[in-house]
Amino acid sequence: METPLSPLEFARRTRRLHGAREAVVDGELRLTYEQFFDRCDRWSAALAELGVRQGDRVATIAPNTHAQLESFYAVPQLGAVLVPMNYRLTADDFVYMANHSGTTVLCVHSDYLDAIDGVRDQMPDVRHFVAFEGAPRAGWLDYEALVAATGPSFPRPEIGERDLLTINYTSGTTSRPKGVMITHRNAAMNTIGTLLHLHLGVGDRYLWTLPMFHANGWTFTWTVTAVGGTHVCLRKVDPALVFSLIRQERVDWLSAAPTVLISLANASPSDQGSVPPGVRVVTAGAPPAAATIERLEGGFGWDITHVYGLTETAPFITVCEQLPEHASLAPAERAVLKARQGVELLTSGELRVVDDLGNEVPADGVTLGEITVRGNVVMDGYYNDPEATKKAMGDGWFHSGDAAVVHPDGYVEIRDRIKDVIISGGENISSVEVEGALLRHPAVGEAAVVGLPSEKWGETPHAFVVLLPGATVTADELIAFVRERLAHFKAPRAVTFVNELPKTATGKIQKYVLRGGAANLSRQ
């Protein structure tokens, strides 16, 4: 009598109960769930006619469009494996991921057709190239034509909860991207945990400010559907468009990395317009600064929830759950608490912060350790990479690489990536803590802190700062500002003002670029 845990089961329920509700908004296109699932079935049938069988890989390179969203249902219900690629990577990366995963069908948005045309001959296993959008061209199948011409019937295989659902490639900033194997069970448990803690409801409207390719859109590709909510597609994050859609589409929820939230908080009054209060925001991808949370909650009247996880954990393993006693705190104090990573989700499994010997660190808010986790959301491993899999989780725990402390109330707080902790004169300095202090200065829009070599101290903190439009401040003034708030040895020894910080497609600051190529950054 057991039903395999799978996001497809949530889709089945929504199709039965909420067929007439609005499912997708993508520009002028509006689809009910009945129409949306009919399109998914037709695409499944078309893929079957193209020879896609259970276990085959189907990859996509696309922004947040209805076609991209349809792939998260049409491919898995065939028993095939979806490979959503980061569209901001290079053509060489696309070739590597397609060949490494064994992709047989590659679906590409019109913005990236030229890039793939230049490397098609380097992907011998890809049997069919499908254009999601754009004028028909030689060698490409037309997605919309296939969906329109194919009936909705296809053979539905039996799918187990431990079957592979997606392969999600990591950013590969220091090596080749690794293929994270996410099972149907992983994704289903993350979806259930999200709904237990974040309380999305029937008819809620979710704006896609987060790339769907990134950890399967933090599984909101399935979570929104599970409650009969509306997916409002956004192909590119532009603050003016974000605020416009929030107003026009009556948006209730959005997810974003802290860098995106900073861009919204710092947008011009003309771009912001009249900002509707009450929007609920899920943020993750990097530790958010308390100042950013305070600005959005105090300035916009939005409600920010901080979650934490990795692609390898499907992705959520903690949520900064608000407690009744937090309500009486001053906004600044509450923002500091909300910036912490928080506590385990009910469904994610067990989390421990351990020292180099594997012992749990004391809950003193001071002692650093590494976040490790085991449980329902941890990946099945890295595809075709047993060495990396063993290194990450060979002892039965997944090792995150994040350095954190545990507070007396049990809430975890990341202080840095282990590789980013600055060790200056024998003292550990959290770059995240220094960045948080810098972001409290009224002239600072964005900040990143890295350790640069020092003959005397080994390394010292160096800040890279993007100022707000029209703002002025000197390096000495910023250093003094941090010294007033933190121990003097934690303050930057130097500040470089830059026009922008290097970021990944998901908004994470690329600190290795700052360390290795600081001299090449454009300066103000």
Same domain, yes or no: 300 and 401: yes
308 Cβ contact list (under 8 Å, min separation 6): 284, 316, 317, 318, 319, 320, 341, 342, 412, 414
Share of the chain above pLDDT 70, in %: 97
Same domain, yes or no: 360 and 274: yes
| Residue that terminates a domain, selected from 185, 211, 226 | 185
Nearest CA-CA partner of 523 in 499, 493, 503, 501: 499
| Residue 218 is assigned to a structural domain of this protein | no
427-429 and 422-424: which strand pairing?
antiparallel
Same domain, yes or no: 425 and 413: no
| Residue 2 is assigned to a structural domain of this protein | no
Same domain, yes or no: 73 and 11: yes
Same domain, yes or no: 394 and 446: no
| Residue 117 is assigned to a structural domain of this protein | yes
pTM: 0.89
| Residue 175 is assigned to a structural domain of this protein | yes
Same domain, yes or no: 307 and 166: no
Same domain, yes or no: 284 and 400: yes
Residue where the block lists tokens 């089961």: 9
The number of folded domains in the chain is: 3
User: Are residues 13 and 232 in contact, defined by beta-carbon separation less than 8 angstroms?
Assistant: no
222 Cβ contact list (under 8 Å, min separation 6): 7, 10, 11, 72, 187, 191, 216
Same domain, yes or no: 489 and 465: yes
CATH code for the domain of 344:
3.40.50.12780
User: What is the pLDDT tens value at each position of the chain, 524 positions in all?
Assistant: 789 999 999 999 999 999 999 999 999 999 999 999 999 999 999 999 999 999 999 999 999 999 999 999 999 999 999 999 999 888 999 999 999 999 999 999 999 999 999 999 999 999 999 999 987 889 999 999 999 999 999 999 999 999 999 999 987 555 688 999 999 999 999 999 999 999 999 999 999 999 999 999 999 999 999 999 999 999 999 999 999 999 999 999 999 988 899 899 999 999 999 999 999 999 998 778 888 899 999 999 999 999 999 999 999 999 999 999 998 999 999 999 999 999 999 999 999 999 999 999 999 999 999 999 999 999 999 999 999 999 999 999 999 999 999 999 999 999 888 888 887 877 778 888 899 999 999 999 999 999 888 877 888 999 999 999 999 999 999 999 999 998 888 999 999 999 999 887 667 788 888 887 653 443 33
Please give the Cα distance from 294 to 13 (Å, whole number).
38
| Residue 209 is assigned to a structural domain of this protein | no
Same domain, yes or no: 364 and 408: yes
| Residue that terminates a domain, selected from 393, 417, 441 | 417
To which H or E segment does residue 280 belong? strand 280-283
User: Are residues 178 and 170 in contact, defined by beta-carbon separation less than 8 angstroms?
Assistant: yes
Please give the Cα distance from 229 to 227 (Å, whole number).
5
Same domain, yes or no: 244 and 291: yes
What does the pLDDT read at residue 521? 43
| Residue 196 is assigned to a structural domain of this protein | no
| Residue 435 is assigned to a structural domain of this protein | yes
Same domain, yes or no: 317 and 437: no
Instruction: Residue 391: give the domain boundaries.
Output: 237-417
| Residue 244 is assigned to a structural domain of this protein | yes
Same domain, yes or no: 248 and 376: yes
CATH code for the domain of 488:
3.30.300.30
What does the pLDDT read at residue 520? 46
| Residue that terminates a domain, selected from 389, 417, 445 | 417
Nearest CA-CA partner of 265 in 286, 279, 252: 279
To which H or E segment does residue 115 belong? helix 113-117
